[in-house]
Structures are given as C-alpha cells and as structure tokens.
Structure 1
C-alpha cells in the first residue's frame, strides 16, 4: 500500500467560497462545491494565541451580559419591594415621620393612609407601564432582527444558486434588507461587491452564456452581475461604513452599464472597465488606481477627488468630466483649466503610464 502523501494545505490566495456558489476557475477545474458553502471559522493557519484571545473575548462578553442582566433584575425588584412596603406598614411610617400629617387619628388617619397608598399605586402603575413599553419595544426589535437574519440567510442561499432567476431574487432581496436595516447595509454591499468580484472573471459556461443572452444589449455583463452592480450604484451612500470601502478591485466590468450610478468612494483598483458606460456617474473619491478605462464613456461624470494614478484612458470619452482635486491625472488633463475639462468634443486620450 502506498504511503500517504503530505497533507493538503489550503490555498490562502483563494477567496472564501461562502457566497461564490458553483463556479468555474480560470483553469477550468470544477470545484464541485455546493451552492452555499460556509467559511470555516477555525482555519489551520490560525495561531493558538488568536484562538485564546477570541475565546477570552467571548467569555468576557458573556460575563458582562450576565452582569447587566442581574442589574436589570434588581431594578425590577426594587420598585416591587417598595410598592409592597408602602401598601403594608410603609404608609403608617410615612404618616408618622412627615410633618403636617403626624398625629392623625381615626378617620383622618385612615383617609391619609389611603391617600398615600393610592399615590404609591399610581406611581407603580406608571412605572409598570413604562417597563411594559420598554420590554415590548425590545422584544419587537429582537423579533425584527431575527426576521431580517432569516431573510438574509435565505438571500445568501439564493445568491449561491446555479439558476439565474433565483440568483436575481437573492440580489434584490439583499437590496431590500439593506433598505430596511441600516445596520445591515454595509454588510449587504460587501456581499454584493464580493459576488461581482468573484464571478466577473468566471470562465464562460452554458449557464453563463444563457445569462449573457438575457442581458440587455446596453451592458456586456451577465444579468446577475449587472443587477448586483446596479444595486450598489443606487444604494443609500449615507449608510456606507466609514471604515470599509466597497471594493470592486480587479473586477471585470467590461462594457458594464454604470450610467448615473452613485459609485462614491468605491475601490476600482485594477478593475477592467474597458468600454464601460460611466456617463453622469458619481465617482467622487473613487479609487481608480491602475484601472483600465480604455474606450470608456465618462461623459459628464464626476471624478472629484478620485485617484486615477496609473489608470489607462486610451480612447476614453471625457467630455465635460469633473476632475476637481482628482489625483494621478495624465499631464494633458492636469493642464486643463477650471473644474471640468471644458471639452466640447470627445477627448481621445492616450494611455496613462
């Protein structure tokens, strides 16, 4: 019997497959992956120290959560104990220790005692009502978040399907989640961007050919990829994460339809935008470092503060493009006065080195 070979090491350069679904690599190898794969939480490359820190952090969170639960319980018990005391001997104690009501007897004492207890009941009723409102709102929020989580899980499963219509349903379901839940908006956009990055360079198969046939002529992308990019382009930019850019780095967006899309701050580093239609697109602060914009249409696009270092602009149409504070511009664009190029005809731009 042959000796076992060395253990197979994971490919650290291969992206996680949790949202990739069935795909074909550049080499044409069939990975035979299920439609939805889970990213391993504990990879062989992680150190013991990292795992210890992670476990300790989780343990600390549990301790803190338990501490706050105890505080909440006591905050609930104290008013109840106080109410019981007032309804019992506490009313008499109040009457004995406050000036103006001390020394009452007979009917006057009984009336004063009832008044104290009545006010205590009114205050307790108000506190109970406030507590009920708080817990109702908290339970409603928990239920809402659980519902959103279920929707998100289902949408991710749809995104990994091998059927075009199901993938489209997953994409638009994720868009709805992003609009319904501001806290999930950045995550949804990262998922859609990763979907575009990983699938835009897939080797063409029978299924992707069908998707291309279903794509409108104005776009060269597959229908599902164009849909994902469109969702990113009409997102609520104000809900983007301030710390993480949406990344379409090295994505193949050849002939993509990006007209009027809001792509503010998107990372297009090394992306292939050959022949893409970016007319009237918002590319403020976008990172286009090393992007291929050969033959792209940038008519009236806003590239304020964008980084064009090393971008290829051969044959790009830059009519009326806004380049205020743009970085890495070729020499002939740096010499153009004003905020825009001011061109009235398409500029045939040599490639920037």
Structure 2
C-alpha cells in the first residue's frame, strides 16, 4: 500500500507539472493550440488530476478508518472475552453467571467468535455438571466431585438432583444461540444433565452421546440431527420435540419418556429402550424401530405406518386405536390394522 501511494504521488506531481501537456496531447487529442487556450486546457487537465487524487485519498481514508475501527472492535471483544473467561473461574455464583451472559453477548456481537464461545460454554457444562452441590449451596462451601456416581438402574426413577444454577444458565444460552453460526457440533458428550430445563431449546446437531438427560424437560426442543447414542432419557419430557431425519438414538434409554406428538420421522431408534414410553401421536414415518424395546409403550397403531418395525418388535407394546372423531364409528382392533399386513 505504501509503494502504491508513492507511485500515485509521483504520477500526480508529474501531471501537475510537465506531464499535463503530454496528457492533453495523448489522452485528450488536443494539439495546435497556444496562448490562453493552451493555458486553460492545461489547467483543466491539472484540475481533473487533483479531483481524481482527492477521490483516491478519500477512499484510502475510509478504508483505513474502517480497518482501524474493526481492529479496535476486535481488541475490545478480546478484552471482553478475557474478562468473561476469568469470571467463569470464580468461586462466586453471581460472577460465574455474569461471565456466562457476557459470553452470550460476545457470541451475538461477533459471528467469528460464536463457535469459540459455544465450545467454552459446552466445556464449562461438561466440567461442572457433575458437581454434587445443590443450586442453593452457599458460595465458599466445598464442592464434591461425583464423576464416578452411577445413575439409577434400568427402570428405576432417577434422583431429584438438578443442574447447578450456572450449568443451567449455560445450557439456556446454548439452547437459544443462533445455530447458523455453528462451526461444529455442540459437544455435551457424557454430561450429567438430569432434570435439566431445556424446553424449546435449539440442540440441532448436538453431540449428546452418553448424556444423562433423565427427567429432563425437553418439550418442544429441536434435536434434529442430534447424536443421542446411549443417551439416558428415562422419564424425560420429550413431548412435541423435533428430532426429524438424521437423529441418532441407537440404544438410547427412553424408559417412561413422554414422547407424545414428538417428531421422530426418519430417526434411528434401533435398540432403543422405550419400555413404558408414551408415543401417542408421535410422528414415526420412516423411523427405524428395529430391535427397540417397546414393552408397555403406548402407541397408536396408525402412527406405525411407514415405520421400520416388525410385529415381533412391538410384541408387548400397548397398541391403541387413535381417538375417533365420530363417536358412533366402530374402531378396528390393533390386529386388524397392523401396518405390516
């Protein structure tokens, strides 16, 4: 840029001096004039050169101003980010909360920093979700790690433990992020999120493999393309949630889960434990239920049409007739309407 500026300055000096006559003759095609006419023509050439130079200088000034403003803005964001990270490490809950919401603001203000902020918040959740302190624990009290604490046995209701206030805040921020700015999956692998409140959360493409979401409230959550292999969703509220094509729920624990009206079309539920789950009005078209455990699950027979499932798979399930809009209309038995026949 400096070299280009020097070249332009030399060219301008030349045009303002002896080069004006050359420009007049070769660019304007004016020859044979003398006296006042020649002087006026040369002044016009020099005036045009000055106008062009002024425009170039103005554009350069705008460019440098914008670049300096962007540099200053990025420096300000870096300072905010550094302070927010320091706040996350505080032993005081209110300061940690301030850091979480400061990071959310940074993610909104800077699309370039959005993926990094989400990675930091996900790491914070994974690191702190296993702290055994209750949300009401006072600051300064010793935390007890419970990484090795096992969940309840299959079919047994999970403990009343809930995520800490800071962990829940980080989950809320992730759940309302602009997913279009994501670079990678939100990584909540093997996190302990029992009884988490995630109503309406946007968890598209999230990695929830092995995550404990038992008793969590996931009603109307968006889990399209999420990976939930071996996830624990026992007794979770998944009413009306959207999994859609691409969701991977292989071997997931969905014992007693509320899946009424859930959008499960195209989801992979092979080997999933759906014992006692409520699947009434669930969208199961093209869902793969082969090998799933459906003992005691409540399912409308009509919802199984188009699903990849065999009669053996649903043996022991509570197959129901959908409520009729006409009270006088006789409802066929499940055997008469089995989709595989």
* Same topology, TM > 0.5: yes
Seen in structure 2, the aligned counterparts of structure 1 residues 348 and 219 have a Cα distance that, compared at 3 Å, is farther
1:209 to 137, 143, 162: 137
| In structure 1, C-alpha distance between the alignment counterparts of 2:193 and 2:220, rounded to whole Å | 17
Partner of 1:110: 39
Partner of 1:226: 168
Seen in structure 2, the aligned counterparts of structure 1 residues 237 and 331 have a Cα distance that, compared at 3 Å, is closer
| In structure 1, C-alpha distance between the alignment counterparts of 2:59 and 2:194, rounded to whole Å | 58
Conserved? CA contact 2:196–2:216, under 8 Å: yes
Larger radius of gyration: 2
Conserved? CA contact 2:207–2:228, under 8 Å: yes
Partner of 2:205: 265
| In structure 2, C-alpha distance between the alignment counterparts of 1:296 and 1:280, rounded to whole Å | 12
2:235 to 295, 300, 315: 295
Seen in structure 2, the aligned counterparts of structure 1 residues 90 and 208 have a Cα distance that, compared at 3 Å, is farther
1:311 to 228, 231, 252: 252
TM-score normalized by the length of structure 1: 0.70
| In structure 2, C-alpha distance between the alignment counterparts of 1:337 and 1:298, rounded to whole Å | 12
TM-score normalized by the length of structure 2: 0.72
| In structure 1, C-alpha distance between the alignment counterparts of 2:272 and 2:79, rounded to whole Å | 53
Gaps of 5+ in 2: 140-159, 286-295, 300-312, 314-341
Could you give the per-residue CA deviations for residues 282-315 of structure 1, whole angstroms, max 9, x where no partner exists? Answer: 1001100111111111111111121001111111
Deviation for aligned residue 1:341: 5.0
Partner of 1:238: 180
Partner of 1:10: none
Give aligned pairs, total: 265
Gaps of 5+ in 1: 1-71, 212-217
Conserved? CA contact 1:319–1:341, under 8 Å: no
Q: Select the structure that is richer in helix.
A: 1
| In structure 1, C-alpha distance between the alignment counterparts of 2:138 and 2:266, rounded to whole Å | 43
Conserved? CA contact 2:261–2:280, under 8 Å: no
Bigger shift: residues 82-91 or 170-179:
82-91
Conserved? CA contact 1:314–1:348, under 8 Å: no
Deviation for aligned residue 1:125: 0.6
| In structure 1, C-alpha distance between the alignment counterparts of 2:199 and 2:7, rounded to whole Å | 62
Could you give the per-residue CA deviations for residues 8-30 of structure 1, whole angstroms, max 9, x where no partner exists? Answer: xxxxxxxxxxxxxxxxxxxxxxx
Q: Secondary structure at the match of 1:182?
A: coil
Deviation for aligned residue 1:75: 2.1
User: Relative contact order (C-alpha < 8 Å, sep 6+): which is higher?
Assistant: 1
Q: Secondary structure at the match of 1:295?
A: coil
Seen in structure 2, the aligned counterparts of structure 1 residues 331 and 337 have a Cα distance that, compared at 3 Å, is farther
Deviation for aligned residue 1:118: 0.2
Superposition pairs of residues 1-353 of structure 1, within 5 angstroms: 72-97=1-26, 100-204=29-133, 209-210=137-138, 220-241=162-183, 244-304=184-244, 305-330=246-271, 340-341=283-284, 347=297
Deviation for aligned residue 1:262: 0.8
| In structure 2, C-alpha distance between the alignment counterparts of 1:253 and 1:332, rounded to whole Å | 19
Seen in structure 2, the aligned counterparts of structure 1 residues 173 and 318 have a Cα distance that, compared at 3 Å, is same
Q: CA RMSD in A?
A: 2.7
